Structure 1
Amino acid sequence: MSDMKFKFTIQNYQTEAVASVVKVFAGQPFQNKLSYRRDTGTQNVQNIFNWILSDNELYMGFANAPVVLDSHQLLKNIQNVQNDNNLQTSSILAKHMGVCSLDIEMETGTGKTYVYIKTMFELNKQYGWSKFIVVVPSIAIREGVQKSFQMMQDHFMEQYGKKARFFIYNSKNLTDIDNFSSSADLSVMIINVQAFNARGKDARRIRMELDEFGSRKPIDVIAANRPIVILDEPQKMGGKKTQESLKEFNPLFTLNYSATHKEHHDLIYVLDALDAYKMKLVKKIEVKGFDIKNLRGTDGYLFLEDIVISPKKPPMARMEFEIEYEKSIKRVIRILGVDDDLFALSKNMEQYRGYHINDVDPIKGVVTFTNGIEIHIGEVLGDVSEKDIRRVQIRETIRSHFEKEKELYNRGIKTLSLFFIDKVENYRKYDEDGNEVNSEYGQMFEEEYMSIQNEYLTLFDTPYEQYLRNINVHSTHAGYFSIDKKGHKIDSKIKRGSDISDDESAYELILKDKEKLLSLDNPVRFIFSHSALREGWDNPNVFQICTLKHGGDSTTNKRQEVGRGLRICVNQSGDRMDERVLGSEVQEVNKLTVIASDGYKDFVSSLQSEIKDTLYNRPSKVTPEYFEGKRLKVGDDVITISSNQAHTVYFYLVKNDYIDEDGHVTDKYRADVENNTLATVPDKVKDIADGVHALVQGIFDEHALDGMIEDGHTTKVQENALNDNFYKKEFQTLWNYINHKWSYTVHFDSNELIQKSIKKIDEKLFVSQLQYTVTQGTQGEDWSDSGNGFVAEKRHTYKLDRGETSQVKYDLIGKIGEKTHLTRKTVVAILKGISPVRFAMFKLNPEEFISNVSRLINDEKATMIVDDITYNQTDGTYDSSIFTAEKNKDFSKSYLAKKNVQDYVFADGTAEKSIERKFAEDMDLDDKVVVYAKLPRGFQIPTPVGNYAPDWAIAFQKGTVKHIFFIAETKGTMQSINIRPIEQAKISCAKKLFNNLSTKDVVYHDVDSYQSLLNIIEDL
């Protein structure tokens, strides 16, 4: 697998970013090979000899053709691109470096290097420009850019039929500059700012007349090409001196690529952190933080690592504590449950007296002791040293690695974990003979690795276990550090005013092994590197990142830290494992776990704050002005939202409680988006509905940040699978009775329905009339922050009798027919029969009239159908998979059951003691219940007033042999007067179906408690 190559696919968002730049120069003619006379120097005799003997082409240079568009046209083009991308339009042209300076914002890990390389090819193809300079802030990024050019050569050759000639600027290799100038091909120079903006001798050479360069200045030769300058991470090159130096390159124009711009120019494309997360273009982030909780009265050590859930056992706690042996005290990890006593288990160590486990709660992630003390997952209690925390971090990184690797191995995906440390000597040291040996972290790693690996090795010889057995612990971790002249690993040097290193030897090693590390044939899975080398790491298969730094580091840039692992992973063939390959599983597979050195809340708060700072482009609230003028693509057309449409959209959002009074998006909107139940938009904006909702979701929403980051300590339940209870003969018998699909026939007198509906509408119909309220007040005296500027004195509400008549046309008959499933003829008969006073209510509020009339008709219909309904069994049956079809359940609302056919019961409602949860608890305790099932919503019975899903299927033991099979519907009340007619009708239809089955052992009834069910059973 060592020759594995990355594969690059053309992605829409990258194509859009490239097109945004190209469109800025619409109208620019194609001009290829604009030649100029090169200065070849005067000191070299051979040059003079060549001048005499050769033709002039030997001295020909090829520069970028000038931009022929004037400033007005450029600005207009930029505004068009900004409108297409729904960005704020520029009022003036930013021309601080070349004819324009364009900002392209792309989140880390989304391939901005790919985008600007592709942009070069497109600008060359469209306009003939061929000279580019990529300027980067550090050697790490410079080496990464060069690596990208190498990796993408074949990819772009396939697309454009040519390769880019690229080189890294080196003041000792000046021939490259002459070649850059004389080439007519697409040519790229890569240079880091230190090469022209530092105090060292090498940096000064770019502006010196050099003898070996024909008494020419390198900067002059470069500037003659009028290069297009691309700034990679410009926010790190914003110093005044750097900006002035960049102008010496004589750029045609400048392109700025970053995830976090600080200096703003003309922004033409944005793919921010929220966009990247929603579009599943980067890994999802999960954080494991560790809190130290020093309690008075104990110096004992206690760490709750996890809560383990098993279908066979109650929840158990994986806990580390101390045990006193004859010669020493050792820390051990044990799996503990309710009633375990740490005092006894520690061999009567006094500090654990009273630590008797009272409860293990997997939902809240907490273990409670009888002495009232609680410990949450990830918390460390008692006497804790920094060394203890580092060991915990290493252990949790290894455990998270194994958890993911077990799943990813079968997909052909190599799992890597990355440790950042502050000193090489903490990981590796050299003995007297110069041999490399483990130091503190290396020793910790091997001890914890062997302990955790043993948990994953069983008697089964699975391919994954074979893979583990073939890897030696010493060869599965490696260090990537700077190298001295003796070949020894050393700490990377950090220049003053920087937080990264420019040690080339370390970056060369990292990048050289980039593809090699991705092969499953390579045993290295855990990587230790210097914290100063953060920028050198962008391997797509880093799934765990852990920073081990003595003394902690609260100033660490969290985004920079997680950015090393955000890229979507690849498999052994180099294929990107994105949504096109994995579908809905993409963010379950692509999940980055950050093992933080501080607490979860602190880490997440800092990370979210840093992300929020980058979302300055997003408006914070919804207004009609936000929508007006936005361009939306509908099919092949582009539609600009008018002022009228903008106000229609705004009032639609207000009416449906999708925004609050401050214009902020509400929980109701978020829920409707999640459940795909958004209210229908008005007809006049129906064609642009998708675009409208995309714009609403473009509003900055603090809640979206919560979804981006998960708590890595949350108890994980992979699925709610069917358990052994499902296969009990009692449940299989019951399931075979009920898992048929049904059709029905029903007959009722249409004239009777018409008359009853007319009577009901005349008695019950109410439609609210539009009103407005006037409040009158006078100016008060208290204008403090807590006081009122005005004091209300009186208020009156008026009916709006002469409100503006709605211009919307309603298909009254069609809409009611659609909601009631009646013919137009029957609907007309009902509307003709109701009193004129009731019918006049239609004008007051048409939508409410249609809704209420339809409901009243359906209520009447529901009361008439039950007696005449007949069910017929069809050929179809329900498969057992309907029990596990629903995904992404909220396990915080679940109940760990004993007799249910699945481990967890999801009760309706949020209260812990909801009716359904109490019902399940009572069934688990009753020895007469053999097995039960909370029936899934996919189990449906058709009725004329809508499909109906019963709640429970229960097998009871009655006597020594006989079983009773009970289908139950749990309701909050048994009084039918409090249940809507439609619900009553559904229940009555279900009774008729189940109670008329060929077997008399199946009974259906609605109940309001388990006791009422028992009362019914006793009467059978």
Structure 2
Amino acid sequence: MKLKFKTQPYQTAAVQAVLDCFKGQPPASAPATRYRIDPGRAKTGSTETIFAQDMQDGFKNADLMLTDDGLLKNIIQVQRQQNLPQSDELIKTKVSRLNLDIEMETGTGKTYCYIKTIFELNRQYGWSKFIIVVPSIAIREGVAKSLAMTAEHFQETYNRKARFFIYNSRQLHHLESFSSDAGINVMVINVQAFAARGADNRRIYEELDDFQSRKPIDVISANRPILILDEPQKMEGAQTQESLQAFKALMALRYSATHKTTHNKIHRLDALDAYNQKLVKKIAVRGIAVKGLAGTNAYLYLQSIETSTKKPPEARVEFECKLKSGEIRRIVRKLSRGDNLFDLSDELGQYHDGYVVSDINANTDTLGFTNGVELCAGEVLGDVDEAALRRIQIREAIKAHVDKERALFQQGIKVLTLFFIDEVAKYRDYSAADEKGDYARIFEEEYRQYLNEVLSLDEMPSQCPYIQYLKGMDAAATHSGYFAIDKKTKRLADPDMDKRGENAGLSNDVDAYDLILRDKERLLSFAEPVRFIFSHSALREGWDNPNVFVICALKHSDNTVSRRQEVGRGLRLSVNQSGDRMDDPATVHEVNVLTVVASESYKDFVAALQKDISESLSARPRVADEAWFTGKLLKTASGDVEVTPQLARQIYKYLLKNGYRGNANHITEAYHQARKDGTPAMLPPELQAHADQVYQLIDSVFDDSQLPKIGDGRRSKTNPLNDNFDKQEFKELWNRINRKAFYSVDFDSAELVDKAIAELDKNLRVPPLHYLIQTGEQADHVGHDELDNRRVFVLSSSKTEKSAHSIHSKVKYDLIGKIADGTQLTRRTTAEILKGIDAAAFAQFCTNPESFITEAIRLINEQKGTMLIEHLAYDLAEDRFDLDIFTVAQSGQDFSKAGDKLRRHIYDYVVTDSGIERDFAKELDTCAEVVVYAKLPRGFHIPTPVGNYTPDWAISFKEGMVKHVYFVAETKGDISSMVLNKIEETKTECARKFFNGINSANVRYDVVDSFGKLMALVQ
């Protein structure tokens, strides 16, 4: 199994932000900067001999030719493009003259981004010497693995490979090649290799006999390398900063999700951005709250409340029971109203007084007894020692795993569960006959017990592929330990750990991380039986496997580890058996949900996690006033629009009028809820032309109500198919639409060239370059705080001016190459398009080359997309969808807030994506003309050139009312082509073609914005 990589727009944006900071720097076509590598010298007795005959050329990075003012102007322009706070100066450090901060949330692929940045900096500016500096061995090994895994992918894009190596003071021959090779060279080094006190660590600064009496640091620094600092907040110690100075870096690019010290920030993709853009998993928490019960030892653990359409709710409870042998053991049973624990436990005294079930509430997930004792799901009462707590955690992790696995197995996605423990002996006890530690033994007991329950469920047919998969898996084979290996005994061992500094508590054991990374791809395959992984908590940073869906820490709470760090190991989006990332926006948060099994209450864990996330967003604006809106840019198809003071006032008034502005100019929860439901109040006429951009600008002002909603991992009600599914009308409907198909696209490039030329001549508009001119004066009084915050000068005015001439006229652009890359066309086709456009349109290139390229790519891609649809043809296949698609994804969804039970839907409940969909479903359910309807499962899809597409609704009307069965693809507030994004628009147009192809089945497809629009089409 091999992971696949693809070009992602959000990652391209991060790369482009770096590149745009160097506009005006001589391009890569400039002569390479050569120098003579110090050959070193040999000592013979009291004499020294210089190796003159071995002197050779080296290739160092060319100097950064831009002035400080030029760099700052570029940086400000990059910041304006993203509406980031604008820098008023270059933040210089001991490490480098130029320090750029790139903020990227954990799990979004920052390693991929900076590797791609390396290739782009080489292609555009010729820089070829890079050093990736990391704070720990775990990250170092992960970076090296990423460089190896992406090598083929980047070679396909750039037609070259990067030579990389891990710095080792005993293998200094790599430094010779690093200096002498003219290609891309990358050295990966951890801070301990140059900023620690050990003898090996000091070698980098010493004249070494085995390195021709040279200092390694001198050979490295002669290349003027570009430093890429991965997690720089962990390298802010005085000694580390002093040591980094010795590299004589050309610049420092700083990548992190949590920058502590801010420099010139040029890109932001924070936790909120990543969640809203669906670039990371959603989070659910199964908390375990221990409640003391005065005066009693009655043990009770409420696992969950289970619902069914055939019987009242039941409570799944663990309690103590006396066996026939007289032994007292804890057992798990389903309880119903009226059950008496005193009787069920064989008359154990602790359950004598009133432990009769009085209420089981599925809405609140609570269990009540006649004595007044009440438990919420996840709460445990009575004698709870650490062993009992860990057993509960292991059981809950297994249940969460299987729930998720049942939903994803058919999609070819393997589920992994990761247990973190604090010592190997709890998993592998070499003094025991079977060498199993307590946790391994408990796991196998709980796994077998829960597996027997799953295999006995009526809803899971014995021939179901997932059931067969489970039956073929032995409990002992499905878990494994990933720890350090003792080199003498070859046994698992607790790893060596850093005792001090930012990495205290993390392992520095290379072999342990090598084991984790070596098995990374193998673990993703169904052929590998291991699904549950036990690892030492000190190795946590080594785990970034995308298919970790459950994390369970079987260890004492560690105040030095934030909740964000705990969940960070499982945030990456999963992949299927083909190595394809499961990132379809329509389904990404249905598939990708990370469940954390916590050893504290759900409420406490979520509160701490939300606090961590909120604090990480400290750089976001939190006040929505006229001053903040003024000067921001609205990104539109025809160019950037600056928010004038008049427009800023209109936005502010809009917030006031509709109750969207709270105390201290904060954005209210009412606004964010309206945005989520797709029903925000209408903007005033002056703003409607740029509605989407205005809403995005308002969204960027942070309020705690925007924090990602963290679900309760237990509150997932079953939602079985009901009697409507068996109605003849639904069977007929399903029979008509249940067709698989494949598409083909056939068009010649000449047609595309003609259409692209016509479009460019008509609509290519390149705005001239804008310059922000700011005027400031020294403050009347400067105190200590102002000096610390660089507020010596006060901004008094700013204005934007346009230039009709390009300041980059001397910079050579590979115009054809850039447009060919952006459109995925050949250079020949791209050249034909550029040659054919009007001279006046082409002349705009001189006004603003970068904007010309961006706009040309956009317009050509739009024509390309239109032609895809025009020349798309569907051929129906004999194969059809299996009925399993209606049941496979129903076990892991949260229906606790799904609303009232439905009458005409094929399920009792339906989860909708917006307020508009919710209202639409209500009207369908009460419409007398509707016989049966379904919100189609994601397993039903139509293939399109831009990804699989699932229509929303299938509806069957009363016989005789209409001639067609109608499909409603989208239920949007505005269905104009200007509001639907390009991908959505392409998918819906492809769907029209698909359903036209099965028109013989009397099926119609359309897109509506309301139930009224649907009925107008029907009648």
Same fold (TM over 0.5): yes
Can you list the C-alpha shifts for 1:550-597, whole angstroms capped at 9, x where unaligned? x44344321111000000000111100002xxx422112100000011
Question: Secondary structure of the equivalent of 2:480?
Answer: strand
In structure 2, relative to structure 1, the CA distance for the partners of 1:214 and 1:940 (3 Å cut) is farther
- Secondary structure class of the residue paired with 1:647: helix
Task: Report the equivalent of 2:692.
Answer: 690
Q: What is aligned with 2:4?
A: 7
* Segment of structure 1 superposing worse, 538-547 or 624-633: 624-633
Residue 622 of structure 1, CA deviation: 0.9
- Cα RMSD of the aligned pairs, angstroms, is 3.0
For 1:900 and 1:22, the matched residues in 2 are separated by: 52
Checking the alignment, whether the CA contact within 8 Å between 1:895 and 1:905 is kept in structure 2 is no
Partner Cα distance (2:147, 2:642) in 1? 40
Partner of 1:20: 17
Q: Please point out which of 543, 561, 565 is paired with 1:556.
A: 561
1:724 Cα offset (Å): 2.9
Aligned to 1:936: 924
Alignment partner, residue 513 of structure 1? 519
Kindly provide the amino acid, as one letter, of the partner of residue 370 in structure 2. Answer: T
For the residue of structure 1 that corresponds to 2:268, the secondary structure is strand
Alignment of 1:571 onto 2:576: yes
Secondary structure of 1:690's match?
helix
CA contact (8 A) 2:404 2:415 kept: yes
Cα distance in 1 between the residues matched to 2:404 and 2:231: 32
Report the AA paired with residue 709 of structure 2.
M
1:400 equivalent to 2:405? Answer: no
User: Counterpart of 2:279 in 1: which secondary structure?
Assistant: coil
Paired AA for residue 688 in structure 1: H
Q: Distance between the aligned counterparts of 2:288 and 2:551, measured in 1?
A: 14
CA contact (8 A) 1:418 1:544 kept: yes
Question: Which residue identity lines up with residue 21 of structure 2 in the other structure?
Answer: V
Match of 2:776? none
- Matching residue of 1:644: 646
1:108-143 alpha-carbon deviations (Å, 9 max, x no partner): 000000000000111101100000000000000000
- C-alpha spacing 1:158/1:237, structure 2 compared with 1 (3 Å): same
Contact kept in structure 2, 1:428 and 1:436, CA below 8 Å: no
User: Cα distance, 1:446 vs. partner?
Assistant: 0.4
* Cα displacement (A) at 1:695: 1.2
Counterparts of residues 69-468 of structure 1 (less than 5 Å)? 69-96=66-93, 97-326=95-324, 327-353=326-352, 354-431=354-431, 437-458=435-456, 460-468=462-470
Match of 2:933 in 1: none
Q: Conserved in 2, the CA contact under 8 Å of 1:277 and 1:708?
A: no
Unaligned runs of 5+ in 1: 736-880, 911-932, 943-952, 954-1020
In structure 2, distance between residues paired with 1:268 and 1:726 = 54
Residue 701 of structure 1: CA displacement? 1.6
Match of 1:988 in 2: none
Q: Secondary structure at the match of 2:553?
A: strand
Q: Is the 8 A contact 2:903 2:925 kept in 1?
A: no
Kept in 1, the 8 Å contact 2:626–2:648? The answer is: yes
Once the two structures are superposed, the pairs formed by residues 762-801 of structure 1 within 5 Å of their partners are none
CA-CA distance at 1:679 after TM superposition:
2.3
Query: 2: CA distance between counterparts of 1:903 and 1:22?
Result: 53
Q: Decide whether aligned partners of structure 1 residues 455 and 32 sit closer, same or farther in structure 2, where only a CA change above 3 A counts.
A: farther
**Rounded Cα–Cα distance in structure 2 between residues aligned with 1:544 and 1:12:** 28
SS in 2 for 1:618: coil
Residue aligned with 2:572, SS: coil
Q: Distance in 1 between matches of 2:526 and 2:320?
A: 38
Secondary structure of 2:150's match? helix
Residue of structure 1 in register with 2:36 after alignment: 37
Counterparts in 2 of 1:727 and 1:502: CA distance versus 1, 3 Å: closer
Q: Is the 8 A contact 1:905 1:934 kept in 2?
A: no
- C-alpha deviation, 1:934, in angstroms: 8.3
Deviations along 1:826-859, whole A, 9 cap, x unmatched?
A: xxxxxxxxxxxxxxxxxxxxxxxxxxxxxxxxxx
Q: Deviations over 1:476-525 (max 9, x none)?
A: 11111111122111111222221211011110100010001111000000
How far the C-alpha of 1:599 sits from its partner, in A, is: 1.5
Distance 1:897 1:657, change over 3 A: closer
Q: CA deviation at 1:653?
A: 1.6
Q: Does 1:493 align with 2:496?
A: yes
Q: Tell me: CA distance 1:149–1:938, structure 2 relative to 1, closer, same or farther (3 Å).
A: farther
Three-state SS of the structure 1 residue aligned to 2:295 is coil
The Cα of 1:297 is off from its aligned counterpart by 3.2
Distance in 2 (CA, whole Å) between partners of 1:98 and 1:137 is 18
In 1, the alpha carbon distance for the partners of 2:342 and 2:905 equals: 36
- TM-superposed CA distance for 1:667, in Å, is 3.1
Matching residue of 2:972? none
TM-score, scaled relative to structure 2: 0.71
- Which secondary structure state, in structure 2, belongs to the residue aligned with residue 524 of structure 1? coil
Q: 1:32–1:127: 8 Å Cα contact kept in structure 2? A: no
Deviations 1:953-1000 (A, max 9, x none): 9xxxxxxxxxxxxxxxxxxxxxxxxxxxxxxxxxxxxxxxxxxxxxxx
The 5 Å alignment of 1:663-682 reads 663-682=665-684
Instruction: Find the counterpart in structure 1 of residue 989 from structure 2.
Output: none
Q: Structure 2: any 5+ residue segments left out of the alignment?
A: 734-884, 916-920, 931-956, 958-1019
SS state at 2:665 partner: coil
Is residue 615 from structure 1 mapped to residue 617 from structure 2 by the alignment? yes
Equivalent position amino acid for 1:565 in 2: G
Partner of residue 710, structure 1: 711
Distance 2:390 2:894 in 1: 34
> Displacement of 1:725 after TM fit?
7.2
| Aligned CA distance change for structure 1 residues 409 and 628 (closer, same or farther; 3 Å) | same
- Partner residue in 2 for 1:795: none
Show CA shifts across 1:37-64 (max 9, x none). 110111189x99996667xxx5101000
| Displacement of 1:726 | 7.8
Deviations 1:671-730 (A, max 9, x none): 32122122222222222221111111111121122x33111132x1354x652378699x
Q: Secondary structure at the match of 2:511?
A: helix
**Counterpart of 1:658?**
660
In the aligned structure 2, how far is the partner of 1:72 from the partner of 1:230?
Answer: 23
Which moved further from structure 2: 25-34 or 75-84? 25-34
Alignment TM-score, normalising by the size of structure 1: 0.71
- Alignment CA distance shift 1:934-1:665 (3 Å): closer
CA distance in 1, matches of 2:169, 2:365: 59
User: Could you tell me which amino acid in structure 2 is paired with residue 389 of structure 1?
Assistant: L
1:566 aligned partner, one-letter code: L
2:41 counterpart SS class: coil
Counterparts of 1:504 and 1:712, CA distance in 2:
35
* In 2: Cα distance, 1:221 partner to 1:888 partner: 58
Q: Number of residue pairs matched?
A: 755
Contact persistence 2:306–2:718 (CA under 8 A): no
Residues 355 and 371 of structure 2 are in contact (CA less than 8 Å); yes or no, is this contact kept in structure 1? yes
Q: Matched residue of 1:216: which SS?
A: coil
State how far apart, in whole Å, the 2-side matches of 1:180 and 1:564 are. 33
Distance 1:675 1:541, change over 3 A: same
Is contact 1:900–1:934 with CA below 8 Å preserved after alignment? no
Matches of 2:218 and 2:909, distance apart in 1: 73
Shift of the alpha carbon at 1:661? Answer: 4.5
Aligned partner of residue 215 in structure 1, secondary structure: coil
User: Among 509, 532, 535, which residue is 1:503 paired with?
Assistant: 509
Larger Rg: 1 or 2? 1
Provide closer, same or farther for how the CA distance between residues 271 and 934 of structure 1 changes in structure 2, counting only shifts above 3 A: closer
**Map of 1:632 onto structure 2:** 634
Aligned equivalents of 1:461, 1:700: Cα separation in 2: 51
Deviation at 1:470, TM superposition (A): 1.5
Q: 1:656 to 1:934 in 2, by over 3 A?
A: closer
Contact between 1:289 and 1:603, CA under 8 Å: does it hold in 2? Answer: yes
